[in-house]
């Protein structure tokens, strides 16, 4: 009987020791499972069909400015972003695209750190256009943690400016 008790104690001690080692290994292991949207941003590209406007230090410039980083995985960016995402739908075929884009850059600078601005060329990303039911360009949508929060719906306006878009963003609680 003593032999059986000793054997039971030995097995219990071994199981306890192995369990303790496994728990220690798990608690000491660095958790790399948390993804950041930044890992899905590629190189600086001013001709990418989908890009993020990023405030960064620009070589030979005193102040940081907006650069365009290619988005390498759209779904991952919008699902891992730690802030709301402003989707800016545009067409390179639009006459006023450059002027509107300049206004969107101003918005990205004003709300740096509070919102991530992503430009999407509607001619190259029909699936995303369809997902958000974009009816006219340029247009804007706010996505938060991968889900639609609000749409600007530019088709409903006879005339609007970047200031109107900025005010709409502020009305959505982003400031």
- Continuous segment of H or E residues that includes residue 42: strand 41-44
> What H or E segment, with its residue span, contains residue 120?
strand 116-121
Tokens of 3: 């032999």
CB 143 within 8 A of CB 151: no
Higher pLDDT, 97 or 165: 165
Q: Give me 46's structure tokens.
A: 């001013």
Kindly state the tokens that stand for 137: 């360009």
Indicate whether 22 pLDDT > 90. Answer: no
- What pTM was computed for the model? 0.79
Structural Rg of the chain based on CA atoms: 25
Whether the Cβ atoms of residue 51 and residue 118 lie closer than 8 Å to each other? yes
User: What's the whole-number mean pLDDT along residues 9-36?
Assistant: 45
pLDDT digits (tens, 9 = 90+) for 121-164: 999 999 999 999 999 999 999 999 999 999 999 999 999 999 99
- Taking every pair of Cα atoms in the chain, the longest distance, rounded to a whole number of angstroms, is 93
Structure tokens given for 168: 């709409």
């Amino acid at each position: 009987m003593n032999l059986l008790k000793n054997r039971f104690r030995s097995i219990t001690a071994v199981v306890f020791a192995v369990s303790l080692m496994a728990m220690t290994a798990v608690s000491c292991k660095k958790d790399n499972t948390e993804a950041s949207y930044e890992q899905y941003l590629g190189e600086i590209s001013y001709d990418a069909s989908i890009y993020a406007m990023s405030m960064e230090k620009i070589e030979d410039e005193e102040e940081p400015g907006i650069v365009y980083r290619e988005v390498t995985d759209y779904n991952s960016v919008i699902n891992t972003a730690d802030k709301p995402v402003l989707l800016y739908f545009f067409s390179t075929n639009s006459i006023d695209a450059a002027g509107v884009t300049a206004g969107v850059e101003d918005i990205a600078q004003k709300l740096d750190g509070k919102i991530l601005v992503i430009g999407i060329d509607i001619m190259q990303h029909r699936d995303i256009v369809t997902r958000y039911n974009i009816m006219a360009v340029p247009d804007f949508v706010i996505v938060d943690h991968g889900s639609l929060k609000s749409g600007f719906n530019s088709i409903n306006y006879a005339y609007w400016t970047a200031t109107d878009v900025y005010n709409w963003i502020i009305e959505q609680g982003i400031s």
